Amino acid sequence: MEDSSPRSGRSTFVWLVGASQLVGLASVVLTGVWMGHYRGGFAWDGSPQEFNLHPLCMVLGLVFLQGDAILVYRIFRSESKRNVKMLHGIIHFLALVISIVGFVAVFDFHRAAKIPDMYSLHSWCGMATMILFCVQWVMGLVFFLFPVASSWIRALYLPIHVFCGLVLLVMAVGTSLLGITEKLLFSIMPTYSKFVPEGVLANTLGILLVVFGVLLGYLITREEYRRPPNPEEEALSVHFKTLTEGGSPSTP
């Protein structure tokens, strides 16, 4: 019974957020250890070490930071909406920059090593995720950070933006798992089935990414963790309702 009280709900929330951050950071560290220790470290010279920046940037930018950029709406539920929006946009901008570095790294490595681009399912899913991520970021900027669209269009777009954000996070996790599988089969196919440490480490990374996605999905979608509506949102909602029902809005 205790579990349903608000205080207990809030304490569960804190534990879940803590767990998500621990799992997310562990994923970034494991990716660094995998590429740094087992795959020869990092460079920016067209060598396989340049490729190694790709998984690290993608897990850090498109998974961990993207997840946290969404989570700020749940963590800072009592802060001003404007400040939380700014933080959401800034973390997403960081995620975008880091993932573009990771994106360039793999194409640059392919060019130097004369490896064809865009033939694998990982690359198809990754490209779709990157394009959708850029579109989502620009749309977010236009609609919410520097809103140029009218209130009712913003209200209409908000649930689509939220849904696409979650889809993007799931696609980023899924594409990472495809990348892990590809990298393992390209690098250690003869020994992978012997449970060598590199394979077990990379599989564990994959499972951690899944756990991160599930924790974030739960925290984001759980009704009781949602941001309570504030007067600004109420006004927008009334405005939208009045417009769609054909009357004239009571507020501009």
Minimum CB separation from its own copies for residue 174, in Å?
A: 5
Query: Is 139 near its own copies (CB under 8 A)?
Result: no
- Our CB check for its own copies shows the closer of 117 and 232 to be 117
Among 19, 22, 25, 210, binds its own copies (CB under 8 A): 210
Closest-CA residue to 199 (of 216, 186, 210, 214)? 186
CA separation for the pair 96, 102 (Å, rounded): 10
| φ, ψ of residue 44 in degrees (nearest 5) | -135, 65
Q: How many residues bind its own copies (CB under 8 A)?
A: 49
Helices (H) and strands (E) in the chain, counts: 9, 0
102 and 53 Cβ atoms separated by less than 8 Å: yes
182 binds its own copies (CB under 8 A): yes
Q: Is the Cβ of residue 101 or residue 149 nearer to its own copies in the bound state?
A: 149
Does position 119 interact with its own copies (CB under 8 A)? The reply is: yes
Which residue in 180, 208, 216, 236 binds its own copies (CB under 8 A)? 180
Least distance (Å) from its own copies to the CB of residue 114?
Answer: 11
Residue 1 in the binding site for its own copies (CB under 8 A): yes
> Which residue from 218, 229, 232, 237 is in contact with its own copies, where contact means CB under 8 A?
218
Q: Binder to its own copies among 80, 124, 135, 197 (CB under 8 A)?
A: 124
User: Per rule CB under 8 A, is residue 167 in the interface with its own copies?
Assistant: yes
Sequence-separated contacts (24+) of 73-79 with Cβ below 8 Å: 73/227, 74/13, 74/17, 74/219, 74/220, 74/225, 74/226, 74/227, 75/17, 77/227, 77/228
Task: Give me the DSSP letters along 95-136.
Answer: HHHHHHHHHHHHHHHHHHHTPPPS-SHHHHHHHHHHHHHHHH
Q: What is the Cα–Cα distance from 60 to 50, expressed in whole angstroms?
A: 16
Contacts with its own copies, residue ranges (CB under 8 A):
1, 3-5, 115-116, 119-122, 124-125, 128, 156, 159, 163, 166-167, 170-171, 173-174, 177-178, 180-182, 184-186, 189, 192-195, 199, 202-203, 206-207, 210, 214, 217-218, 221-223, 243-244
